């Protein structure tokens, strides 16, 4: 009896209750109700993602640095070396045509002009005393030409505004020695044309064409985009050194360049732009980032490049 009781794993009451039960039980449900409709939502999202990857496209952009160029600016340079004796203007000052801007020491030119003037006066007296003196007349004519040349050289020692406008750059100070050809002062005229010069990777040249939009983000104005229209695209692929020579000494060293590039120009319709309700002027040499849309590609092709031949690209 004791051995039999040890082998039983169920109680007598439980066995009698089980034998007397007439109804079958149901499946035990432990998952919440929301898991059922979540399953179908996930299936719907997966189907939408598959359809979007098949029909949707991703644009590809040619990107590169850009420089603002203000055309109508005059850069004044001395013809001969010299030391700056006076600077009569400052950056941002408005000047009129012919107004003196920067002067150089001109002792030699002044001394030469004074000597020629004295000789001219002596010969003039001789001619007035003896109008028939041909030698004095010829000498007077020669001295007149020398005097005009000396006056021109003395005037060249003073840089004057070639047009009415605003002084945009001043690169010298009093007492500074300047070599010939160095840019000393710049004047921006009243009527200027503003152009954007963008430098795109050379490999995108076949896909770049005039009339396409160019999205621009000026340095210092993050996430503020302007859209211009490409006006021209260069026919040559240039290296970094050639691009620097093209941009000039002012901007060439400031632009990060690498690899072959093509020059793209876009017309900026206004000399000013607006940012957060404020109006700003474009200045020559302002840096920017330019993006030109060159083609689009299906998302599925991007994910699985092997399908490129089957589905193709969209330009």
Whether residues 64 and 206 fall in one domain: yes
Answer whether residue 288 is part of any domain.
Answer: yes
- CA-to-CA distance for 232 and 234, rounded, in angstroms? 7
Answer whether residue 134 is part of any domain.
Answer: yes
Whether residues 146 and 281 fall in one domain: no
Distances (CA, A) of 225 to 148, 209, 273: 56, 21, 11
Question: Structure pTM?
Answer: 0.56
In 10 A of CB 294, how many CB atoms?
18
Q: Are 260 and 241 in contact (CB under 8 A)?
A: no
Whether residues 252 and 281 fall in one domain: yes
Which structural domain range is residue 237 located in?
Answer: 58-71+191-311
Whether residues 208 and 222 fall in one domain: yes
Q: How do the pLDDT tens digits run along the chain, 315 residues long? A: 454 555 667 777 777 776 765 556 666 666 677 777 888 888 899 888 888 777 777 788 899 999 998 877 788 888 888 888 888 888 888 899 889 999 888 777 777 777 888 888 887 888 788 887 788 778 878 878 888 887 777 777 888 888 888 888 888 888 888 888 888 888 887 777 889 999 999 889 999 999 999 999 999 898 899 999 999 999 889 888 888 887 776 666 677 777 898 999 999 988 888 888 888 888 888 899 999 998 877 777 777 776 666 655 555
The last residue of one of the domains, among 119, 148, 178, is: 178
Identify the sign of the CA torsion 203, 229, 288, 168: positive
Whichever domain contains 149, its CATH number is 2.40.50.100
Alpha-helix runs per DSSP H in the chain: 2-7, 12-20, 34-55, 107-129, 134-156, 240-247, 249-252, 299-303, 308-311
Residue 260 has which token pair?
């072959």
Bridge partners, residue 232, by sequence? 265
Whichever domain contains 217, its CATH number is 2.40.30.170
């Amino acid at each position: 009896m004791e051995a039999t009781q040890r082998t039983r794993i169920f109680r007598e009451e439980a066995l009698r209750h089980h034998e007397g039960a007439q109804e079958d039980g149901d499946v035990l449900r432990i998952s919440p109700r929301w898991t059922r409709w979540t399953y179908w939502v996930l299936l719907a999202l997966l189907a939408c993602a598959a359809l979007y990857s098949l029909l949707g496209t991703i644009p590809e952009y040619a990107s590169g640095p850009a420089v603002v160029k203000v055309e109508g600016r005059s850069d004044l340079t001395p013809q001969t070396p010299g030391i700056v004796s006076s600077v009569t203007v400052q950056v941002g000052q408005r000047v009129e045509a012919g107004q003196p801007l920067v002067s150089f020491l001109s002792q030699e030119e002044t001394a030469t002009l004074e000597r020629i003037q004295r000789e001219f006066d002596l010969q003039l007296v001789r001619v007035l005393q003896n109008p028939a003196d041909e030698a004095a007349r010829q000498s007077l004519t020669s001295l007149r030409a020398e005097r005009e040349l000396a006056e021109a050289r003395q005037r060249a020692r003073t840089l004057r505004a070639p047009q009415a406008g605003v002084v945009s750059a001043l690169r010298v100070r009093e007492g500074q020695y300047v070599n010939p050809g160095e840019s000393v002062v710049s004047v921006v005229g009243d009527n200027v044309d503003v152009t954007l010069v963008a430098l795109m990777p050379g490999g995108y040249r076949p896909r770049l064409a005039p009339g396409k939009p160019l999205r621009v983000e000026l340095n210092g104005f993050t996430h503020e985009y302007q859209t211009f229209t490409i006006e021209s695209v260069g026919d040559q692929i240039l290296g970094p050194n050639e691009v620097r020579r093209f941009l000039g000494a002012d901007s060439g060293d400031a632009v990060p360049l690498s690899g072959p590039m093509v020059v793209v120009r876009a017309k900026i319709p206004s000399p000013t732009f607006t940012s957060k309700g404020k109006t700003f002027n474009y200045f020559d040499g302002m840096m920017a980032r330019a993006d030109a849309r060159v083609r689009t590609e299906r998302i599925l092709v991007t994910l699985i490049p092997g399908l490129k031949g089957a589905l193709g690209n969209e330009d």
